[in-house]
């Protein structure tokens, strides 16, 4: 019997029973075919709008299993993809008919509290990491949804509630173990394969399959000052002007994001406001609680909020606070733009769009990035946008497939309206699959160097199921 697996350059390859038995013998983890138990779960991804069926799934338990899968794909000329948490908005963790390396069984976290480091398996979710690190009162910057995968988050850059204080996720990456296209298992760090280490700090899954990461930890929690201020949307224009001022002068410990959406039925929001348009300040202060109260005083004094639920919360709880609004299986389409400033024109477009949301689940999310992350040179990591800036995420989310066209059109139209006011850059983790033309905006002046690293470590572009960085030509790569 043979099994058709999608080929690297299109078409399919017939993989024999003998070859499949060989792969099973080379791996400690599972090798799954479409009729096997666990296959469906292995290929599941967060975005319910996208459904793809891999031809073959390998579930590694360690780097040697990953090596076997990569060498198998290379030997048979197979298309290969990697799945960490499955959250990538374009569904690029899974390719139709391809060999899928599903990392979900590699969820180990080892914390060294004395050295303040953590070794994290590539299948870990953010909740796994937070839980183990917080047992020691430690943390490093990650995202805001506990079911996000650490691998995809890190490889794209990574930011969240403590980024202003401690930098991006990649700024806290000390080393990683990676399997490259030729099957080599490498430890990469500033002192070992530094070019590859640099490229993996924001360059996505273009350069190999990471098996584990080592991160620097910081004292955080166990309680932080956090919570929400909820305002009527009519107050948003003036509040966004004040947000612009407060964000740019805030201490590093203070992070403030804004969200415009229809109010969810949360118990602290007046019931007569449920389902009506609101603007929300999401606030986190990761330092001394008394100093935090002073730092948020100006923000709390703005307008007449419908709800103020800022107070001491467990750090792990705040990291999970938005999980109910980000459950898997819903249909999602995102658009993103970066802004060095919020002009009156931009504010007007955003507020107008918030009055005409295509679905009750859709949000306009506007985080501010600055502080420690902005004190890193643009060329120091593959992620280049190091100026203090606002990152717009048009988080278009809905359930009914009949609304696909309207929801996607809303996001695209708003993104187009504000593009002329933007910095021209984009966060790669917020890019849908159809944003491939914006890859240059994701990497800016770092693109040439990334293409040269790609040519050295993956000249045949084996790792292409991603926001792809094409290898430089041989002459260019040799420079």
Q: How far is CA 135 from the centre of its chain?
A: 24
- Torsion from C-alpha of 121, 379, 142, 188, nearest 10 degrees: 10
**Residue 98 burial by CB count (10 A; 0-12/13-18/19+): exposed, middle or buried?**
buried
User: Are the C-beta atoms of residues 421 and 390 closer than 8 Å to each other?
Assistant: no
For residue 419, give the DSSP letter: H
The pLDDT assigned to 148 comes to 96
- Cα angle 106, 112, 115; round to 5: 135
User: Are the C-beta atoms of residues 176 and 197 closer than 8 Å to each other?
Assistant: yes
- pLDDT tens per residue, range 253-303: 999 999 999 999 999 999 999 999 999 999 999 999 999 999 999 999 999
- Cα angle 374, 368, 245; round to 5: 95
**What is the gyration radius of the CA atoms in the chain, in angstroms?**
22
Residues 6+ apart with CB under 8 A from 272: none
Residue 92 has pLDDT above 80, yes or no: yes
**Which domains are assigned to the chain?**
2-102 (3.30.43.10), 109-219 (3.30.465.10), 223-438 (3.40.462.20)
Q: How does residue 473 score in pLDDT terms, banded at 50, 70 and 90?
A: confident
User: Residues of the chain with pLDDT > 70: what percent?
Assistant: 99
Residues 6+ apart with CB under 8 A from 220: 134, 137, 138, 139, 162, 286, 315
Q: How far apart are CA 449 and CA 459, in angstroms?
A: 14
User: Per DSSP, which regions of 246-362 are E strands?
Assistant: 254-262, 277-285, 307-308, 311-314, 331-339
Which whole number is the average pLDDT over 175-180?
Answer: 98
The pLDDT assigned to 474 comes to 52
Place of tokens 């980000």: 326
Q: How does residue 39 score in pLDDT terms, banded at 50, 70 and 90?
A: very high
For residue 7, give the DSSP letter: B
The pLDDT assigned to 248 comes to 86
Residue 93 CB neighbours (<10 A): 31
Which whole number is the average pLDDT over 401-416?
Answer: 97
Helices then strands (H, E): number in the chain? Answer: 16, 22
Q: How does residue 476 score in pLDDT terms, banded at 50, 70 and 90?
A: very low
Q: How does residue 351 score in pLDDT terms, banded at 50, 70 and 90?
A: very high
The pLDDT assigned to 478 comes to 42
First to last CA, the chain: 47
Residue 375 has pLDDT above 60, yes or no: yes
- pLDDT tens per residue, range 429-440: 999 999 989 999
Report the residue count for the chain: 479
- pLDDT tens per residue, range 7-20: 999 999 999 999 99
Residue 479 has pLDDT above 60, yes or no: no
Average pLDDT, the chain: 96
Q: For 390-423, b where at least 16 C-beta lie within 10 A, e where not — what string?
A: bbbbbbbbbeeeebeeebbebbbebbebbeebbb
Strand order in the sheet with 56-59: 30-32, 56-59, 99-102, 80-83
User: Are the C-beta atoms of residues 158 and 200 closer than 8 Å to each other?
Assistant: no
Instruction: State whether residue 152 is helix, strand or coil.
Output: helix
For residue 353, is the peptide bond before it cis, meaning its omega torsion is within 30 degrees of 0?
A: no
Q: How does residue 1 score in pLDDT terms, banded at 50, 70 and 90?
A: confident
Residues 6+ apart with CB under 8 A from 409: none
Secondary structure element (H or E) that encloses residue 394, with its range = strand 389-398
**Residue 114 burial by CB count (10 A; 0-12/13-18/19+): exposed, middle or buried?**
exposed
- pLDDT tens per residue, range 142-172: 999 999 999 999 999 999 999 999 999 999 9
The pTM for the full model equals 0.95
Q: How far apart are CA 99 and CA 89, in angstroms?
A: 20
Tell me the two tokens of residue 331.
């249909």
Residue 5 has pLDDT above 90, yes or no: yes
User: Are the C-beta atoms of residues 436 and 467 closer than 8 Å to each other?
Assistant: yes
Q: How far apart are CA 23 and CA 15, in angstroms?
A: 11
User: Are the C-beta atoms of residues 162 and 286 closer than 8 Å to each other?
Assistant: yes
- pLDDT tens per residue, range 418-468: 999 999 999 999 999 999 899 999 999 999 999 999 999 999 999 999 999
According to DSSP, the β-strands at 56-59 and 99-102 are parallel
Which whole number is the average pLDDT over 81-109?
Answer: 96
User: Are the C-beta atoms of residues 236 and 305 closer than 8 Å to each other?
Assistant: no
Which whole number is the average pLDDT over 182-206?
Answer: 98
Q: How far apart are CA 279 and CA 304, in angstroms?
A: 12
């Amino acid at each position: 019997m043979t099994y058709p697996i999608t080929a690297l350059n299109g078409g399919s390859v017939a993989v024999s029973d003998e070859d499949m038995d060989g792969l099973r013998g080379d791996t400690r983890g599972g090798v799954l075919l479409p009729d096997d138990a666990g296959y469906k779960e292995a290929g599941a991804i967060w975005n319910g709008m996208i459904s793809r069926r891999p031809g073959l799934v390998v579930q590694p338990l360690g780097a040697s299993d990953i090596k076997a899968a990569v060498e198998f794909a290379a030997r048979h000329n197979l298309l290969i993809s990697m799945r960490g948490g499955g959250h990538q908005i374009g569904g690029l963790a899974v390719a139709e008919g391809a060999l899928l390396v599903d990392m979900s069984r590699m969820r180990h976290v080892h914390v060294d509290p004395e050295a303040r480091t953590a070794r994290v398996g590539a299948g870990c979710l953010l909740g796994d990491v937070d839980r183990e690190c917080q047992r020691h009162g430690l943390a490093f910057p990650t995202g805001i949804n506990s079911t996000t995968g650490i691998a995809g988050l890190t490889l794209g850059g990574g930011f969240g509630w403590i980024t202003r204080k401690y930098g991006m996720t990649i700024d806290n990456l000390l080393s990683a173990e990676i399997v490259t296209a030729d099957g080599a298992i490498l430890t990469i760090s500033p002192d070992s394969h530094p070019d590859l280490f640099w490229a993996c700090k924001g360059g996505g899954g273009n350069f190999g399959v990471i098996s584990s990461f080592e991160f620097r930890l910081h004292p955080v929690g166990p309680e932080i000052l956090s919570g929400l201020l909820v305002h009527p949307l009519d107050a948003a224009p003036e509040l966004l002007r004040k947000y612009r001022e407060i964000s740019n002068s805030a201490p590093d410990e203070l992070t403030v994001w804004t969200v415009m959406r229809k109010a969810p039925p949360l118990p602290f929001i007046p019931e007569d406001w449920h389902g009506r348009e609101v603007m929300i300040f999401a606030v986190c202060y990761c330092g001394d609680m008394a100093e935090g109260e002073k730092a948020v005083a100006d923000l709390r004094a703005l307008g007449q909020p419908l709800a103020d639920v800022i107070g001491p919360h467990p750090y792990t709880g705040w990291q999970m606070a938005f999980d109910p609004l980000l459950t898997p299986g819903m249909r999602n389409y995102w658009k993103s733009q970066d802004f060095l400033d919020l002009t009156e024109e931009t504010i007007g477009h955003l507020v107008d769009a918030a009055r005409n949301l295509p679905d009750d689940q859709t949000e306009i999310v506007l985080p501010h990035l600055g502080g420690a992350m902005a004190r890193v040179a643009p060329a120091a990591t593959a992620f280049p946008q190091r100026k203090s800036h606002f990152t717009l995420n048009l988080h278009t989310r809905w359930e009914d497939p009949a609304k696909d066209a309207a929801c996607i059109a809303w996001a695209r139209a708003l993104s187009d309206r504000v593009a002329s006011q933007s910095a021209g850059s984009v966060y790669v983790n917020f890019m849908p699959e159809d944003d491939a033309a914006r890859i240059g905006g994701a990497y800016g002046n770092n693109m040439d160097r990334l293409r040269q690293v790609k040519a050295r470590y993956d000249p045949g572009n084996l790792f292409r199921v991603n926001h792809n960085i094409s290898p430089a030509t041989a002459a260019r790569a040799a420079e």
